[in-house]
Structure 1
Amino acid sequence: MTSLKTAVLAFLVLVAAVPAAGAAELLMLEQPGCAWCARFNAEIAPAWPKTEEGRRAPLRRVDITEPWPDDLKHVARERFTPTFVLMEDGKEIGRIRGYVGDEFFWYRIGEMIALLPKEQSTQ
């Protein structure tokens, strides 16, 4: 019976680790030496996962100097960094090219998050 409990527990951990279908994510296209990326990292990145927006669309970093990820082949590449691409269910919802400060970023990301489908209640 112990091995069955272990197998069930392992399955539950695996299921919890897989993102839900239709889950949103915020891609951050960046590159080494990008001063504006560093500014975003100092001003926004530490708080992002603690915000409603960050919980709705976790940050995924993509280094544009590295090979492009297979699951993003359909996403237009950028040369300008940082660029933020809001994705939902594998589709681009919107993008922000550049980072000029926290106020503009929060305003624009709020507009983009509002375009996401409303979250379904599980209760």
Structure 2
Amino acid sequence: IFNVLIDGKLEDNTQFISLDLLNEMKSDQLTKHNLKQFFNWNLNEDYSYGFGGRVRIKNQLYPLTEVGEYGWDGLLGSSGLVDTKNKITMTIMLSSHPGHNKLVETEFFDALYQDLRLNNLA
């Protein structure tokens, strides 16, 4: 499902989502439109929001992933991650009490990127 969000192309190489739209989706729209002061629901301060979901704007806080990585986090635990630099998409689906998925999500993201770096894939 998320693979089309790497470059906007379907499996048959048809451009389904424009590169301009993808760039807007993974760009910090809150700062761009001076809205960050009104929004306080973030994974951590390294994230902001583009069109449709969170976007990593810095890579200083745990879990360390990639600047520009973007995706969506559901209240009950499901998360999607798109890393266009490394051409990775990730989906994790779980169900938890609202707001209690942060630990699982951050541990999963951290484990994924530790493994990628260990194997020189990121």
Query: In which range does the TM-score fall when normalised by the shorter chain?
Result: 0.3 to 0.5
**TM-score of the aligned structures, taking structure 1 as reference length:** 0.32
- Tell me which protein shows more helix as a share of its residues: 1
Larger relative contact order (CA 8 Å, sep ≥ 6) = 1
